[in-house]
Amino acid sequence: MGRLQDKVVIITGGAGGIGREAGRLFVDEGAYVLLVDLNEDALKDACNEIGSNAVSYFVGDVTRAADNDAMVACATERYGGVDGLLANAGIEGDVASIADYDEDRFDQVMAINVKGPFLGLKSVTPAMEKRGGGSVVITSSVAGLMGTPNLSAYTTSKHAVIGLMRSAAKELAPLKIRVNTVNPSPVETEMMRRLESGIGGEEGAELVKAGMAERIPLQRYGEPADIARMMLHLVSDDSDFITGSVNVVDGGMTA
């Protein structure tokens, strides 16, 4: 028996590096998984990569209430209910000073990174209540614990979801729905490749990466599997007395 045997988990941002690795791990641990993202081709690729009848996908926009309701309905129709939600969809936004930051871009980052988890919680709560409880894990960041120059929108959004998590944890505890964040350091994903290029340009990206890695006591970026294992712990019954917590997976970066 796996640690998630017969549990149903929705993963937003399911086509990305952390999302698809979490999907693979969760399926290996006995879960039924619904991957949610905007890019259908990437979702198909993720499902093929996982290679199991226990995973499927739903194309949806986490900033739309109707799409959040629809993903919950889809998981319920296919698998019988919802036990877990990884509110993992997110974007990094631009690398720019506050004075130069585009207002529409700021709004987009906040919509995906903050409104998305809010709407996910709103939609999934009734389904989890019917199951007698559940677990919601929101992907934050070490940027949610400290300031980061020239990443004002991303940093703001990752602080904001910690506040959302803490409020939701207290509000939903009577329903036995647990809510926590995972806060990774830089991880080997396409998002970090874009950030490295945004900070250092194409020619300086490798130097930026080396500099970031030097700030991590374990001297490396995280791997998607490092983050997925913490997510597994928080979704599983191993953490059934953990709610309202910030779970740092950062190689010592914020120590």
Strands 84-87 and 55-59: unpaired
Whether residue 24 contacts residue 97, with contact meaning beta carbons closer than 8 Å, is answered with no
**CA dist., res. 210 & res. 83, Å (int):** 39
**CA dist., res. 114 & res. 140, Å (int):** 10
- Enumerate the active-site residues: 154
Residue 102 CB neighbour total at 10 angstroms: 12
Amino acid at 223: E
End-to-end CA distance of the chain: 36
Residue 80 CB neighbour total at 10 angstroms: 12
**CA dist., res. 133 & res. 205, Å (int):** 44
**CA dist., res. 194 & res. 188, Å (int):** 11
**CA dist., res. 99 & res. 149, Å (int):** 12
Distances (CA, A) of 150 to 19, 55, 153: 26, 38, 9
